[in-house]
Amino acid sequence: MKKTMAIFDRVLDIMMFMAGIMLVFIMLSVCLEVVLRTFFNDSLIWVTEVTEIMLLYIAFFGSAWVLREGGHVKVDIILTRLKPKYMAFIGIISSIIGIFVSITLTGYGFKVALQSLQKGIYTPTALEIPMALIIIVIPIGCLMLSIQFIRRTLKYIAGFIIESNKVKS
C-alpha cells in the first residue's frame, strides 16, 4: 500500500510540475501577445484560447496536490480554537463531503467527455479543439482529488481515534 501511495504522490508531483510549466507558458505567451499588439500592431490568434484551456488544466492538475499539502482555504480562526479531537471530526466530515463531490464530478465528467468524443464536438473557435480534450482534465483531476480526500479522511480518522483514546486514558 505504501508503494501505491508513493506512486500516487509522484503522479501528483508530476501533475503539479506540468501545471507549473503551463503557467510559465501562459506568462510568456501573454507577454509576447502584449508586445506584438503594442509595438507591431499584430496578434497571435491562439493565445487567449490556449490560455483559457491551460488555466482549466492548471486548476484540475493542481487541486489534489494542494489538498495533500494542506493549501486549500480553511477557517483557521475557528479550527485553532477547537480541541484536536473535534478538529479531526470536522476534518472527517469535510473530507467525506469532498469525496462525494469529487466522485460525482469524476463520474459526470467522464460521461460528458465520452459523449463529446463520440459526437465529435469541437470548440467553435479558430483552433477548433475537440471538446473532449478540454473536458477530460475535469474527471482526471477530480479522480485524483477523490483519492486524496480518501487519504485525508483516513488520516483524520486515525487522529480522531488517537485523540479519543487519550481522553479515555
For 14-54, give the DSSP string.
HHHHHHHHHHHHHHHHHHHHHHHHHHHS---TTHHHHHHHH
Domain count, the chain: 1
3-state secondary structure of 80: coil
Residues in the chain: 169
Question: What pLDDT is stored for residue 75 in this prediction?
Answer: 74
C-beta separation of 88 from 166 below 8 A: no
Kindly give, in sequence order, each residue whose CB lies less than 8 Å from that of residue 9, ignoring residues fewer than 6 positions away: 68
Residue type (1 letter), 79: L
Residues in the chain predicted with pLDDT less than 50, given as ranges, are none
**CB burial string 140-149: b at 16+ within 10 A, e below:** bbbbbbbbbb
C-beta separation of 49 from 122 below 8 A: no
Question: What pLDDT is stored for residue 130 in this prediction?
Answer: 96
Question: What pLDDT is stored for residue 167 in this prediction?
Answer: 61
Residue-wise pLDDT tens digits, 133-157: 999 999 999 999 999 999 999 999 9
Burial (Cβ within 10 Å: 0-12, 13-18, ≥19) of residue 106: buried
Kindly give, in sequence order, each residue whose CB lies less than 8 Å from that of residue 167, ignoring residues fewer than 6 positions away: 85
Residue-wise pLDDT tens digits, 44-62: 999 999 999 999 999 999 9
Residue with cell 503539479: 16
Chain centroid to CA 117: 22
CA 47/CA 7 separation, integer angstroms: 34
Q: Which domain holds residue 44?
A: 2-168
Q: Which DSSP helix (H) or strand (E) runs through 156?
A: helix 137-168
Residue type (1 letter), 169: S
| pTM for the whole structure | 0.89
